[in-house]
Structure 1
Amino acid sequence: MLKKKPATYREGQAIDTLIGPQVVLQGDLMFSGGLYVEGRIRGRVVAEPGQPAVLTLAEQGCIEGEVEAPVVIINGQLRGDVHAAERVELAAQARVVGNIHYRVVEMSAGAVLTGRLVHADAQPAAVAETGPAAEPAVAEPVAMVANA
């Protein structure tokens, strides 16, 4: 039997699962390999722990929920926090409302982030005193737009 070669959408990254533009998925989704989303997902999208995984959100795609994957590429709309163990790419049409936890981030001109960028190695601010005068340092949310 002939084996069909997986479709590729980027240098060496295969699409194992495609959520088409007419699909609305409600509920949590666990995946491994390459997941390409052109439709809408309402729920958590989580990569299988210990497995290589790339989530790509297409320009017309939308995710409403938390995302956890080693590599996350966003060119659509995402409402929720992103946890990327390796890399996050915000393409030109990316619209993110939520915090992005990353190790490496790439942001193209035109991408919009309303939330916080949190580096994976960042340590939370330690409170020196525990009395009533001591207040923990809190980072303010930012709205970012990458311009050319």
Structure 2
Amino acid sequence: MLLVRTETRKERVMAKIEKDRAENSRQMRSGDGSFIAAECHLEGDFKFSGPLTVAGSLKGRIKSDGMVIIETQGMIEGIIDAAIVIVHGKLNGSVLATDSMEIWTGSNVRGSVHARSIRVDEGSLLTADLTISEVLPEQRLDLSSDTASPDQESPQQSLAPQRSSSPLPGSNLARRLAAMNENQ
């Protein structure tokens, strides 16, 4: 009897993430990729190929087919559309991580996050609408348009999930609100 083990979808996705990380790491060691130094403060729309490391600050829309790393002293304010996002510093805005996102100890992330997988270390701050799903939103960041500025929300820019303002039925918050309404 021959037993054949097939890979699960999760194992295939994780293997691809590890392969992409290894490729991005190789590119960074070889000098490929981009680096924004601590003294740099940039604003606008940016499109990168390969890994991007931010030690300074960026404000605007960022699209990368590789990894975006925000160093401890780095800050990004805006929208990120990348394969892998790793935060050691500060991030305020929307993130679409097509593979994974990592939020390390001491980092601060605010806004909305859509990722296939996420890792949040103890001692980090995450205040965001969080969507973890293998299904990516149909709307992706489009930097081919010059009409929208980072301060204006356009349909392509908004990666935030659409949700109702009422709490989930049966949740602790819904029960507390119901109890408060009964007491009034």
1:1-148, aligned counterparts within 5 Å?
13=25, 14-15=27-28, 16-47=33-64, 51=65, 53-121=66-134, 137-138=164-165
Moved over 4 A (4+): 136-140
Shift in Å, 1:84? 0.3
CA distance in 2, matches of 1:90, 1:23: 23
Give secondary structure in 2 for the equivalent of 1:59: coil
- Whole-Å separation in 2 of the counterparts to 1:107 and 1:42: 23
Question: What is aligned with 1:144?
Answer: none
Could you tell me how far apart the structure 1 residues matched to 2:72 and 2:126 are? 15
> Which of the two has greater strand per residue?
1
CA distance in 2, matches of 1:63, 1:44: 9
Compute the displacement of 1:98 (Å).
0.4
Letter in 1 for 2:53: Y
TM-score (structure 1 length as normaliser): 0.71
TM-score, reference length from structure 2: 0.57
Deviation at 1:11, TM superposition (A): 5.3
**Map of 1:126 onto structure 2:** none
Q: Quote the offset at 1:120 in angstroms.
A: 2.8
Which consecutive residues of structure 2, in runs of 5 or more, have no partner in the other structure?
1-20, 137-162, 168-184
Q: Which protein has the larger Cα radius of gyration, Structure 1 or Structure 2?
A: 2
Distance 1:118 1:11 in 2: 25
Q: Deviation per CA, 1:129-148: give whole Å up to 9, x if none.
A: xxxxxxx75576xxxxxxxx
Residues 104 and 96 (structure 1), Cα distance of their counterparts in 2 relative to 1, 3 Å cut: same
Question: Partners of 1:20 and 1:137 in 2: how far apart?
Answer: 40
**Shift, 1:90, TM fit:** 0.4
Find the residue that maps to 2:51 and give its secondary structure. strand
Structure 2 counterpart of 1:54, one-letter code: M
Structure 1 residue 21, shift from structure 2 partner? 0.2
Listed one character per residue, the Cα deviations across residues 88-137 of structure 1 (whole Å, up to 9, x for unaligned) are 000112201101101011111111111111023469xxxxxxxxxxxx75
**Larger % of helix: which?**
2
Q: CA RMSD in A?
A: 2.3
SS in 2 for 1:22: coil
